[in-house]
Chain A
Amino acid sequence: MSVLEGDKASLKRDYSSHYTDLVKASCSYMATPRRGVLGYWQTLPDQDISLDLFNQKGIHVLSFNEEQQYEPSRQQSYKLPLLMRRALTSGVVRQVKVPSAIEEAIQEAQHITGLTNNWDEDGAQQISKETLDTAATFLKSYADYLSLTYNVEIDAPEINPVKNGSIDLEWHTQGAQMLINIRRKEGQYYAFYYGDRYNDKMPIKGNVPMSEFSESLAVWMKYLL
């Protein structure tokens, strides 16, 4: 069971570490009398919580968002539909508030799923909504984390389709450049990334599965201003 409560400061502190607790919570429900209850959390005024859940393949399967009307300062819980219980392995908790530039970029990118096969006249694959949604969830998760934890609002990336059916998130900011490619590998979505502060300074390269959160990547992304 996972509980987020307290004042704004403690909520921020909880946020920085709690997504791992939620991973445990989502796996432990079978052993509790409250079968199927993913967790409990308490919302505060203007501090609604959003929850994104992933299955074993890293596919985004469920999210709570601001459209669900949380009542401030009341304990919330969610009972998982039966069929979802076994599939869920991880969750990311985040605040609903998202930097508007990021939201705009995601909204503008929706046309990508309308591209048909061969959209580059050279055999490009269609981009699935699942891939675009996974990329959007990833982007929002890291942007929100930076906003909450470091009070940093990173620039919005360009969101581009890639001919192999994946999605690129691409930044060229004053301080740094970064490319994050969201694609499937061995049945699971990963973020493959490279960034530097131009001229190969402070490079970062690696990959992270969607079901995990990379603190080191998030910290590096603070340069994307």
Chain B
Amino acid sequence: MTEEEFLKPLPITNEDHVYRQVHWSALQKSDSNKKKKFPNASHFTPDADGLSVNLAKLITLNGVYHIIGISFKPNTTEFKSYKDFKVFRFSFSFLRSIENIKSVLHSPVLNGNPAPVGNPNNYAHASVLYGEDDEDVRLKLSTYCDSNYEQALCTADFTSIDKEVAELRERLNDTPYHRF
């Protein structure tokens, strides 16, 4: 695959699904014993280029955790704590049903060939683009996870993921996520 081919967006159909990873541990540190709703609307706050998701047809659940596990925390050389993330699954048709979601675009992330250690490529990356003032979108994504929790939450097998991430980290940037 050439860089041009890597970056060429694929079409997304109504049958497609996306994975959204959310960090959970920081919000659980309250002294309160009250159960916090998870995920909540704040977990669906987009970056400048939209809400980052992964196209399920291009990556496995383990693959999502691989990429988290071999990525550095911002401005550090420390790998992310991939077990502090949970992954939720949304159908593209559901995303399309939310009025203020403008589009969902396949947007592969290319950081190099090879990409540097801690900053892997992500061919499955996609962006959910909201309209201005996104409170309605974030609230509906949160409510969807709450109402469809069993279907939306992706249960990971960390026995295998732990081994795989450890091996990938040892390989530095000589992995399929760094070279193509």
Contacts and interface: CB of A to CB of B under 8 A. Distances in A.
B171 interface: no
A186 interface: no
A207 B143 contact: no
A172 B37 contact: yes
Given A108-B34, A192-B135, A179 B41 contact: yes
A124 to B, nearest CB: 8
A8 interface: no
A198 B136 CA distance: 11
A130 interface: no
B139 A162 contact: no
What's the interface size class on B, roughly?
A: 20 to 34
A201 interface: no
Contacts of A119: 26
A108 B36 CA distance: 11
Interface stretch (A21-29, A44-52, A60-68, A163-171): A163-171
Contact of A163 (B34, B45, B73): B45
Interface in A176-191: 177-181
A104 B159 CA distance: 40
Contact of B133 (A121, A124, A163, A207): A207
Interface residues of A, number: 33
B163 to A, nearest CB: 22
B32 A108 contact: yes
A118 B32 CA distance: 23
A192 B143 contact: no
B45 A162 contact: yes
B66 interface: no
Contact of A121 (B37, B80, B138, B143): B80
Given A108-B30, A170-B37, A163 B143 contact: no
B42 A168 contact: yes
Contacts of A168: 40-42, 138
B23 interface: yes
A121 B84 CA distance: 9
Interface in A150-175: 158, 160-164, 168, 170, 172
What are the 3 tightest A-B residue pairs by CB atom distance, in nearest-first order?
A194-B135, A194-B136, A179-B139
Given A118-B75, A122-B23, A170-B139, 10 more contacts: A108-B34, A111-B29, A111-B31, A118-B73, A120-B23, A164-B45, A178-B139, A179-B136, A196-B136, A205-B133
